[in-house]
Chains A and B, each alone.
Chain A
Amino acid sequence: MNALLHGRLTGLLALGAVIAVLPAVLPNNFYLDIAILAGFNAVVCVGLNLLIGYAGQISLGHAGFFGIGAYASGVLVGAYGWPPLLALLAGALFVGLLAFLVAKPILRLKGHYLAMATLGIGIIVSIVLRTESGLTGGPDGMMVEPFRIFGVELYGEKVWYWVVGVLLVGVVWLSLNLIDSPMGRALRAVHGSEVAAEVVGVDTARFKVLVFVLSAVFASVAGSLFAHYAGLITPAKADFFKSIELVTMVVFGGMASTFGAVVGAVVLTLLPQALTVFQDYQQIVLGGILMATMVFMPKGLLPTLAALLPARRRA
């Protein structure tokens, strides 16, 4: 395996450097906005990759968790006057509990049961968001107040860019730490062979639940902050297609590679901007990318590129 994939410090520094330099080369706020959206997607994908890439489980409902976080912030701050940070934490806590309750019975089952169940959560969330229009504004969505903390209001692309940049570096750091720990190895062992993991003492059900909850909480936090940044949220952010988009980003970028998840999120956020055709046929294009990735580079973009470089053994 390659330093590009696993070098902790090198990778973090490279990511930090790119984030630091980017605003200098982006011509205006339009591009900064795209970078911010890519950043939010990347945060969700790094978490989702822990579940999909490392632990080998699947979720077709992560946009639902993103949506709950977003609406928790929108509703609690807007309608109830909560401080944004508290609303964000409450949303994350709720999502964590929900993910726990869902995962507990279902992660004992395998493969497609989990896919079906998470699909179900996503659908239920987006239906609730559409129909509870008293609170959520229904299909048209709702306005969200800006994020205020310690009397400071986060406003504008320039500020949010750094917020998301720091968040992304933090999340990547946490993910790299986790993977390089006994719990991280237990997660990968679950992917490699559940029975072998069990006979050396890994409570596989527990770790599957844990990583599912953790990745859901990452999505919720990203959703909360996104809601404040965008100022307007709609149920589309929580629907099935958004979930598929997230999975595609992870699979495309490179499963079981934290930086791959970031690259996947960035590339697939930029692509629709670059290709106008993408906007009209977004689902078809996404489906095509997912299929092509599976067929031509099943390990995803970054691991495939890394394998092309001369092998450099890990220290």
Chain B
Amino acid sequence: MKMLATTELSPDTTAQARRVGPPILTVEHLSREFGGVLAIGDLSFTIAAGDIHSIIGPNGAGKTTLFNLVTGVYKPSGGRVLFDGADVSGMAPYRLAARGMSRTFQNLQIFFNMTALENVMVGRHLHLNTRLLPALFRFPSLVRKDREAKERAARLMTEVGLEKYIDADAASMPYGALKRLEIARALASEPKLLLLDEPAAGLNATESREIDAVIKRVAATGVTIVLVEHDMKMVMGISHRITALNQGRMLAEGTPQEVAANPDVIAAYLGAAP
């Protein structure tokens, strides 16, 4: 791992000058087991509103499981998840989405039966009239808002660099573009909290830099970002705080500099290296 080298990165001055926001996401003693094995064990931490907060850890550390617990895809075996001050443990994902949480997936979850633009338009679901009768009879207000949603979706695709795929079928798009399509779809729902599960995995250096820029731009609009990423250069460069996991448990937490210097983190990474 390139972990050690990144400690030489110049300290992020903007991060030092920032005020720490109120907690937007808190997990308390969270655990989840699969067949007796703890994928997440007694995990507690807090994410401040407005932060780019990264979760790092070797493969199998429990990062994706944590995302699944936070977004309601899995139910916790124990502990709580607090979002925006409310206990949302075990709440269905669509309800959490309505409260302002969205995410992308490490293993792509694309609607391959639609165009790219329609994928993003599904992200507008919460902001549109989704009732049956207005749809069946094509109420003018529904049609008008749908047209606006289409334009908005096209703009979002442009913002993440997908302008040339606006009319493409999702099934015809390359992997790197699909990764960004997931981000655009999640953004379309206008989340307060956006969880990105390895958005740069499998991308080349140029594409990674583009994702990096997209994340920064989104964060600049006030969206809190939870980032799982193996690209340590990206993580060290853009995170305000980092939580390091190992085997489902908290290993270290702090600023990028603190975490990178943590002996346990270094040991876990070196130990996990093939």
Chain A interface (Cβ < 8 Å from any Cβ of B): 1, 174, 177-178, 181-186, 188-189, 191-193, 195-204, 210, 214, 256, 313-314
Contact = CB atoms under 8 A, between A and B. Distances in A.
A182 B167 CA distance: 18
Given A181-B138, A192-B112, A214-B132, A202 B102 contact: no
B16 interface: no
**Majority secondary structure, B binding face:** mixed
B162 to A, nearest CB: 17
A167 B71 CA distance: 44
Interface of B: 71-73, 92-94, 96-98, 101-103, 105, 109-115, 118, 121-126, 128-132, 134-138, 142, 146, 149, 167, 169, 182, 185-186, 188-189
A202 B113 CA distance: 16
Given A177-B138, A192-B110, A314-B167, A202 B186 contact: no
A203 B94 contact: yes
A256 B115 CA distance: 14
Nearest to B168: A313
Contacts of B188: 200
Interface centre among A188, A192, A201 (most CB of B within 10 A): A201
A193 B108 CA distance: 10
Contacts, number: 114
Contacts of A210: 132
A182 B146 contact: yes
Nearest to B182: A196
A255 B96 CA distance: 32
Nearest to B92: A198
A185 B142 CA distance: 13
Contacts of A191: 111, 113
Contact of B130 (A1, A174, A183): A183
B136 A182 contact: no
A72 to B, nearest CB: 22
Contacts of B128: 182
Given A174-B136, A185-B122, A189-B122, A200 B109 contact: no
A200 B167 contact: no
Contact of B113 (A178, A203, A256): A256
Contacts of A186: 122, 125, 130
Contacts of B118: 185, 188
Given A177-B137, A182-B124, A204-B94, A199 B186 contact: yes
A137 B102 CA distance: 56
Given A198-B97, A199-B101, A203-B94, 5 more contacts: A177-B136, A181-B135, A196-B111, A200-B102, A201-B94
Given A1-B169, A200-B102, A182 B130 contact: yes
A177 B146 CA distance: 12
A203 B126 CA distance: 10
7 contacts: A178-B132, A181-B142, A182-B149, A189-B122, A192-B113, A200-B186, A201-B125
